[in-house]
Structure 1
């Protein structure tokens, strides 16, 4: 079935059942239209099952996170095989507790090992578990049963929720799954498909896990011109709980969030920048600006219509949409780091 062949009376009937005052009603109608197209397309049963299960999982996950959208969150990645007396486990548990003490919530993969350490350290009221359904791995559940836990069938929906909802990411040593999550996140930030956020690779003292990976990236991918030096600035390798917490909170000491308005990138701040600071930024980061200057601006009409952080000061630039490692450094400079 093509879009032109959709039964008009069917769409009109559905439109009448969707509240005209519903926020984002136009997107809701497009979703219904796409569902009708899929239903009438003659897709194979497996394809339909994938679409159906994906929508159901995302709907459940969005509802789970929705009440906490305004609360900062940190996702903790790491091995399911890490034992509770290992240094990585103890660090993950303590790091999660430190963030919970500062009002953050903790998101993990919902399983044993480092994931259990993160949820236990944060406390069940401050923890989300996005578990993958596996025959050999049970989800971690706190005794009080207050952990916000969801089980996913698909890794891609699970990874979406592990990354979409969080403002910072911490990776402890782990296996193929941890490397997959860490590299996907790096790729998403490198290409602008995810919001820039702190990514801390935590190595317990003397462990050498992430240091070995860093050496590989520099000696092989960077040396061969397969990545840019700025790409390697999207992560930090740290070795203590205090450094890790400071890295994340320091990133947000003045920076709040970003949004694209047409071709302009808007960075929302907690405190305004004076003219001398703007001059410094324009001088240091002229290479990532396609034209014009970094300048202070009022909220855009779109932001005002959406009531999107309108109370915050903001700056605007015509970013080249390529140098995200340099943009990360710009945010560090905004926060005087």
Structure 2
């Protein structure tokens, strides 16, 4: 295939818009929003950009408002289908569906695809929240309900607002971002009673040791902050901890008297 044909086949998601070939931009919307180094046009552009940001929240809220209870599964986009983490994500998603939960992922490949596959094939609701990136990942084929975002902060709001808990498999910076976002929100009581489970003792142990022996030891966090999450090694353990806690929270909320 020639270079021109390859370019014509490449696709790029910009919110609801699909771009190909010469229409693919060199910068993402996030980068343009945050970059003020080139000229002063942002003074005039940014107020209008607020309308686009608002529309992302409106579209996300509208798409997910009737989703029902759900669990977010995070992990690397680089995880291959033959890796044990891929099958673990499938198994966890399948069990969450059996417990009555939808499954939310970032909609891309790797662990995200595995989570969506498990939910889809188990007959549950498989949700993908995609993001505009310089390299197009695309929404994986197992997503039943997909929403594409330009801005990371709008997307992260949807992950937290519509999930009853997080299951975090091994991943990179994007996975760390979501993990620490959730931990910060729980620590500061912006969200409460939110179960967070890390899967893979070997992978996460170095981070946990650093948090305990360096960060907590220097007083940067409280030692009790390490109780905000659990570490497990199996899909069964992850589902049991997250779903049991989420079930308890739902039951307590339903039992509260309605003021009127």
**Equivalent residue for 2:55?**
56
TM-score normalized by structure 1?
0.61
Counterpart pick for 1:82 among 75, 79, 92: 79
Asked if 2 retains the 8 angstrom alpha-carbon contact of 1:97 and 1:122, the reply is yes
Alignment partner of 1:244 is 2:241: no
Q: Select the structure of larger CA radius of gyration.
A: 1
TM-score normalized by structure 2?
0.78
> In structure 2, what is the Cα distance between the partners aligned to 1:154 and 1:236?
29
**Equivalent residue for 1:192?**
189
> In structure 2, what is the Cα distance between the partners aligned to 1:222 and 1:199?
19
Shift of residue 209 of structure 1?
1.3
Q: Across the two proteins, how many residue pairs are aligned to each other?
A: 218
**Equivalent residue for 1:213?**
207
Asked if 2 retains the 8 angstrom alpha-carbon contact of 1:75 and 1:162, the reply is yes
**Equivalent residue for 1:330?**
none
Matches within 5 A, 1:29-48: 44-48=43-47
Equivalent residue of 1:44, what SS? helix
Equivalent residue of 1:150, what SS? strand
Could you list the per-position Cα deviations for residues 175-198 of structure 1 after superposition, in whole angstroms to 9, with x for gaps in the alignment?
111101101110011001123211
**Equivalent residue for 1:98?**
95
Which 4+ residue blocks in structure 1 deviate beyond 3 angstroms?
252-255, 267-270
Higher relative contact order (CA 8 A, sep 6+): 2
Give unpaired runs (5+ residues) of structure 2: 1-41
Shift of residue 269 of structure 1?
6.7
Shift of residue 137 of structure 1?
2.8
**Equivalent residue for 1:304?**
259
Asked if 1 retains the 8 angstrom alpha-carbon contact of 2:99 and 2:243, the reply is no
**Equivalent residue for 1:135?**
134
**Equivalent residue for 2:70?**
73
Give unpaired runs (5+ residues) of structure 1: 1-42, 258-266, 271-297, 306-337
**Equivalent residue for 1:159?**
156
Asked if 1 retains the 8 angstrom alpha-carbon contact of 2:76 and 2:111, the reply is yes
Equivalent residue of 2:89, what SS? helix
